[in-house]
């Protein structure tokens, strides 16, 4: 990669890792007397002071419900909430802030698309196509809907490196395929899928595409207009924002045609006992009191990410993944799970004869936080013939020194189980 390409080493020229780390109070602590190495970012990220301060300021000064109040606090809260929508639209290059729907997380976002968009499209014998590396949240909603509609869920395969077999995916598309739903970056393998090409293939057959961007948006530039996807979902808490806030991007012409996902306050224009007239998009999908403070925190997280620079973040994390892969490959009895050529932020592995939960417990005693288990991707574990893996996942504040600490601690794991 040359110095001008996204994710290149040239993007790191002004990357001040120490200053970045100072912005995250949670990582400046000791666990069991050891400096914390937080390597569980694929589960959730820590929060910078700017996010914590923005949420505290909202609750301290502007706390009020949005959209319907005429008093000052309500108007300030509404402005902050809608600013979060505008910032989110800009961050992913949506055409219109109205294409941004706030939900509780990426999981609810997929369920919204399944229940509102796909339910209207599916008929007996129709098909939904996903991939073999999907998170449970991009499997179970489609299973439920296919069972209800007597449709079929088809799965595009991957190879032993954890790479999607694009030719097989294309062959799996049939005249009955009504939707393709695909993960951008695998949460358990780190594989970066060619979603732009998948969208191109799908649209040549007039098939809409949902992209699960939960593990992509924090780590690289995601441009929905460039990708051309019809829907994108992601979660604030994986991008240094608060828990309980997620985003559904949908092309406006599709959102306009979709029925509401839930009923209640703020998704209506008028209500009588005889008939309800629904609100305009995106509000017809946002029933009830929203997580205003969460959206304020999301906007602050976006400001923080853009302040650091997405190209610089991608380059820094690419260096970490490459370094971790090299160092872990030299550890005796360790098997890397997922060795795709294009990877982001995740290194998963198994240890011969040692259960991942035991590994995680010993690493915790050394101050190292990793995730162990099936990572809500049980079909992936079955494919690789393991019950679970140990997963180290990186964020913008992690360092090579923390990877060195991980490798050293794995030496202690081997000693315990020698």
> Taking Cα atoms as reference points, which of 263, 300, 418 lies closest to residue 353?
418
Find out whether 131 and 202 touch, Cβ atoms under 8 Å.
no
Find out whether 215 and 235 touch, Cβ atoms under 8 Å.
no
Cis peptide before 364 (omega within 30 of 0): no
In whole angstroms, what is the distance from residue 104 CA to residue 20 CA? 27
Strands, sheet with 334-337, edge to edge from the N-terminal-most edge strand = 334-337, 346-351, 389-393, 371-373
In whole angstroms, what is the distance from residue 360 CA to residue 337 CA? 16
Provide the phi-psi class of 200: left if phi over 0, else alpha when psi is between -120 and 50, else beta.
alpha
In whole angstroms, what is the distance from residue 117 CA to residue 102 CA? 16
How far is residue 241 CA from its own chain's centroid? 12
Which residues share a beta bridge with 270? 277
In whole angstroms, what is the distance from residue 143 CA to residue 216 CA? 24
- Where do the H-state alpha helices sit in 366-399? 378-384
Provide the phi-psi class of 345: left if phi over 0, else alpha when psi is between -120 and 50, else beta.
left
Residues with a known catalytic role: 376
In whole angstroms, what is the distance from residue 166 CA to residue 157 CA? 9
Place of tokens 């060795």: 339
């Amino acid at each position: 990669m040359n110095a001008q390409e996204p994710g290149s080493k040239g993007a790191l020229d002004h990357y001040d890792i120490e200053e970045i780390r100072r912005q995250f109070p949670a990582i400046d602590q000791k666990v069991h007397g050891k400096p914390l190495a937080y390597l569980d970012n694929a589960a959730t990220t820590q929060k910078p002071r700017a996010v914590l301060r923005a949420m505290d300021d909202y609750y301290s000064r502007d706390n009020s419900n949005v959209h319907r109040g005429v008093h000052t606090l309500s108007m300030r809260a509404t402005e902050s909430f809608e600013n979060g929508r505008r910032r989110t639209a800009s961050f992913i290059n949506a055409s219109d802030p109205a294409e941004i729907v706030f939900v509780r997380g990426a999981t609810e976002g997929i369920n919204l698309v399944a229940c509102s968009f796909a339910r209207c499209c599916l008929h007996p014998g129709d098909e939904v196509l996903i991939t073999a590396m999907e998170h449970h949240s991009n499997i179970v909603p489609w299973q439920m809907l296919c069972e209800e509609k007597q449709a079929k869920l088809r799965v595009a395969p991957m190879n032993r490196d954890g790479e999607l077999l694009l030719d097989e995916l294309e062959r799996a598309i049939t005249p009955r395929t009504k939707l393709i739903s695909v993960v951008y970056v695998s949460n358990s393998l780190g594989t970066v899928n060619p979603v732009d090409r998948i969208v191109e293939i799908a649209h040549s057959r007039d098939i809409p595409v949902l992209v699960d961007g939960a593990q992509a948006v924090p780590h690289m530039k995601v441009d929905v207009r460039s990708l051309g996807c019809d829907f994108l979902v992601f979660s604030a808490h994986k991008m240094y924002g608060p828990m309980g806030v997620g985003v559904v991007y949908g092309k406006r012409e599709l959102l306009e045609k979709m029925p509401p996902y839930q009923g209640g306050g703020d998704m209506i224009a008028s209500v009588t006992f005889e008939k309800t007239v629904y609100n305009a998009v995106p509000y017809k999908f946002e029933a009830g009191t929203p997580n205003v403070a969460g959206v304020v925190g999301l906007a602050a997280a976006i400001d923080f990410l853009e302040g650091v620079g997405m190209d610089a973040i991608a380059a820094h994390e690419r260096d970490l993944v490459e370094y971790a892969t090299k160092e872990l490959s030299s550890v005796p009895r360790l098997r890397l799970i997922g060795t795709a050529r294009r990877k982001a932020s995740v290194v998963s592995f198994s240890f011969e004869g040692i259960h991942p939960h035991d590994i995680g417990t010993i690493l915790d005693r050394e101050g190292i936080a990793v995730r162990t288990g099936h990572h809500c991707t049980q079909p992936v574990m079955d494919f690789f013939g393991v019950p679970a893996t140990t997963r180290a996942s990186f964020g913008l504040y992690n360092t090579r020194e923390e990877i060195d600490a991980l490798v050293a601690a794995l030496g202690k794991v081997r000693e315990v189980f020698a």
